[in-house]
Amino acid sequence: MAIAEQVTTDKYSIVNGDCVTGVEAMPTDSVHLSIYSPPFATRNGACLYQYSSDPRDFSNCDNGGHFFEHYDFLVSQIARVTLPGRLSCVHCTDIPNSNSGRDSYSDFPGDIIRLHEKHGFQYIGRHGIWKEPLAVRLRTMQKNLAHQTLTLDSTLCGVASMDYLLLFRNAGDNPIPVTHPVGLLDYCGERIMPQELQSFRGYEGKQTENRFSHWIWRQYASSFWDDIRIERVLPFKAARDSEDEKHVHPLQLDVIERAVILRSNPGEVVLTPFMGVGSEVYGAVENGRKGIGFELKPSYYRQAVKNVAAAADIRKEQEGFNFG
């Protein structure tokens, strides 16, 4: 595997290099959880955003559907390195095929589901992540979300697509259960928990009585996450360079932390093949897991180095506070 740069510690390993060859080089059954956001592509393989001019970049695939050829191989390798019965979480959305004013959409989530099923993953559900319509309009400049379209011909109005976190379980039986013996200990979201539930945090009695954890679980188990703090993301502006389409916007840390805490044990390995500025590795490390990430774009990788090091410092302080 061609590696431009790499940082490896006892808490994480991050690589400036191609995720395809990177994941291919990893040992079988070495990953407990993966979570990532692939480049968003239409069914014919055209990508919504272009991140770099590197020919190895998934977002540079042409209209011949080469994206899905590349992605097919990557998913097969993620299945190989993932322990039996463990999960892969994929962040995605519906993709507009054009911005002509008479827009249609590509069912990118459906294509991802079928691709994972091809490689033995079982689709077990999705969480919808609410997005504010005006913010979507301003980011994508979709004509079908403009108020003017409503005034002229509302049959052409569109929908501000939510994001999805798709959940897939690898084939086989999980050899290491993910346990929460005293329930969930922290809530990642914007709602305010009733104060009277705080006394149940870390409750060691009968877990049917653990009102603190039950309240959090009701938020997390929902198919519709409308309590994600949309602006709770890692620093990313410094990672932009002249090639960018100014799309850089990391996945929200609330989404990542929910997946990491619910779907893996402390000390386990969390993989992200499209690391960006390091959000998924950051979420893994801050919550006591080991993160492994690959990022092809040098400017993103350099920002990830800073972000992930900050997560390691935070975790070190937490461990010192808890056990020092």
User: In the predicted model, what is the mean pLDDT of residues 201-211?
Assistant: 97
pLDDT of residue 246: 47
**Any idea where the domains of the chain sit in the sequence?**
3-323
User: 23-36, pLDDT tens digit by residue?
Assistant: 999 999 999 999 99
User: 80-126, pLDDT tens digit by residue?
Assistant: 999 999 999 999 999 877 766 666 788 999 999 999 999 999 999 99
Beta strands 269-272; 163-169: pairing state: unpaired
pLDDT of residue 319: 79
Give the residue from 162, 220, 212, 210 showing the smallest Cα distance to 189. 220
> Would the pLDDT of 245 be above 50?
no
The three-state secondary structure class of 164 is strand
User: In the predicted model, what is the mean pLDDT of residues 269-278?
Assistant: 96
pLDDT of residue 4: 78
* DSSP secondary structure string for all residues of 168-214: EE-SS--SS----TT------SSS---GGGGGGTT--S-GGG-HHHH
Give the C-alpha separation, 79 to 94, whole Å. 24
**pTM, entire model:** 0.90
pLDDT of residue 58: 62
User: In the predicted model, what is the mean pLDDT of residues 226-249?
Assistant: 70
> Would the pLDDT of 260 be above 70?
yes
- DSSP designation for 47: B
Q: Among 26-30, 125-129, 294-298, name the one with the lowest average pLDDT.
A: 294-298
pLDDT of residue 105: 81
> Domain 3-323 carries which CATH code?
3.40.50.150
User: In the predicted model, what is the mean pLDDT of residues 226-233?
Assistant: 95
Give the C-alpha separation, 294 to 40, whole Å. 17
pLDDT of residue 2: 65
Residue 94 has a CB neighbour count (10 Å cut-off) of: 16
pLDDT of residue 118: 98
pLDDT of residue 324: 38
pLDDT of residue 323: 41
Question: Which of 91-100, 140-149, 166-175 is modeled with the greatest confidence?
Answer: 166-175
